[in-house]
Amino acid sequence: MGGTDASPPGVTKSSRDPETIRQGLEMWLASRLPDGARPTVTEIEVSSANGMSSDTFLFRAAWDEGGEQRDERLVARVRPDPADVPVHPEYDLPRQFEVIRLVGELTKLPVPQVLWLEQDGGPFGVPFFVMARIDGVVPPDVLPYPFGDNWLYDASVTDQRRLQDTTIAALAELHAIDDPADRFGFVGPFTEGDNALRRHVEYTRKWYEFAAADVGRSPLIERTFSWLKDNWPSDEGPTVLVWGDSRIGNVMYREFEPVGILDWEMARLGPRELDVTWLLYSHRIFDDLANDTGLPGMPGFLRRDDVVSTYESISGHTPRDIDFYCVYAAVQWSTVFLRTGLRSIHFGQQMMPDDADDLILNRCALERMLAGTYWS
């Protein structure tokens, strides 16, 4: 969602002008680099990567350093303009920067190398950070990869399984970080609740209230929160650092293995099942969309039982209460769709519906989950 949120075709993500961004980055680099660096910024472009949360700009920067010319391909992650209807109620760029830095330090996971953090706004008036660019391919959101005619859909079953298993292994490695509450206590969520899962759900409830303030109440989402309360796990298990937006659309791959794990704005402390079920349901939601248009989708990929059993075999932990966590993943996606729907309305790409639930693209799936008929 980051990241999290699949970008429907034609959705505008940002009103920022790339040329203004280029000039701003050039001036900002001049203030950051040693005297005489004379930086130039070229090839600025809005990232075509998945997701609609933060604004992401790809650029090339050259400067003098120690008598030699540096030429680097870089990425700037910029807090979105509030006027562009951001998906999340907050964007803590310093927190994201520190999460990526620490994960890179404590694991072998292929996170981007973070280079500079600007907390005071700099040329954009809002915080941003710069990181090194990674080369790889990402399963597309537009059109979603289960619709066909893309590198992942057309891959062999063996290669698809390699991508699936290596992604699950990355989650297991992330969740194995020792003392996560001490090392990542700054990520929160800082809401009411006597354990990490209750605080996580309460944060999502506040996120929904933020979305509903602009589009109206969602009876479906509110019914789902009641269902979660009534079906709460008896034992949430250990607390780990969860990536939060653990879908394959936030991973860059090479030879069907991760080479870049991106979009950490939803990283929080919580049960590992949050990531496991987000991974499998974030595929299922795209598969549902493909099926709704009469396409076969990818029913053999990221299957629920396969994801759970593979994670168990790699991590030694048996994921529990999968139905609960899948419903929770689905209601988070529903909240995303309230915000992305409002964004489409803001940019004149659709009309405001009478019923807020009509903005929820996974409405039917969530209703079936609550009825206990979805996975059958």
pLDDT at 47 over 70: no
**CB–CB of 164/306 below 8 Å?**
yes
* pLDDT mean over 51-66: 83
Confidence at residue 48, expressed as pLDDT on a 0 to 100 scale? 56
Q: Using one digit for the tens of pLDDT, what is the confidence trace for 106-128?
A: 999 999 999 999 988 777 788 89
Give whole-number Cα distances, 262 to 27, 136, 154, 278, in Å: 27, 12, 24, 15
Q: Of 49-58, 156-165, 192-201, 356-365, which range is least confident?
A: 49-58
Confidence at residue 49, expressed as pLDDT on a 0 to 100 scale? 54
Q: Which residues pair with 128 in a beta bridge?
A: 78, 118
Q: Between 317 and 4, whose confidence is greater?
A: 317
227 phi and psi angles, rounded to 5 deg: -60, -45
At 274, the amino acid letter reads L
Q: Using one digit for the tens of pLDDT, what is the confidence trace for 238-294?
A: 999 999 999 999 999 999 999 999 999 999 999 999 999 999 999 999 999 999 999
**CB–CB of 154/161 below 8 Å?**
no
Confidence at residue 34, expressed as pLDDT on a 0 to 100 scale? 92
47/21 Cα distance (integer angstroms): 13
Give whole-number Cα distances, 229 to 178, 198, 207, 234, in Å: 30, 10, 17, 11
pLDDT at 50 over 50: no
The 8-class DSSP code of residue 144 comes to: B
Q: How confident is the model at residue 11 (pLDDT cuts 50, 70, 90)?
A: very low
Q: Using one digit for the tens of pLDDT, what is the confidence trace for 166-190?
A: 999 999 999 999 999 999 999 999 9
Confidence at residue 53, expressed as pLDDT on a 0 to 100 scale? 60
H/E element, 269: strand 268-271
Q: Using one digit for the tens of pLDDT, what is the confidence trace for 61-78?
A: 999 988 899 999 999 998
Neighbouring residues of 11: CB distance < 8 A, sequence distance ≥ 6? 52, 340, 343, 344, 347, 349
* pLDDT mean over 46-57: 66
Confidence at residue 15, expressed as pLDDT on a 0 to 100 scale? 58
Strands 239-242 and 251-254: unpaired
pLDDT at 143 over 60: yes
All domains in the chain, ordered by first residue: 18-132 (3.30.200.20), 145-371 (3.90.1200.10)
366/370 Cα distance (integer angstroms): 6
How many other CB atoms sit within 10 Å of the CB of residue 104?
Answer: 16
Name the average pLDDT for the chain. Answer: 92
Report the catalytic residues.
Answer: 245
Confidence at residue 282, expressed as pLDDT on a 0 to 100 scale? 97
pTM: 0.92
Residue whose pair of structure tokens reads 């991590």 in the numeric block: 315
How many other CB atoms sit within 10 Å of the CB of residue 159?
Answer: 16
262/53 Cα distance (integer angstroms): 12
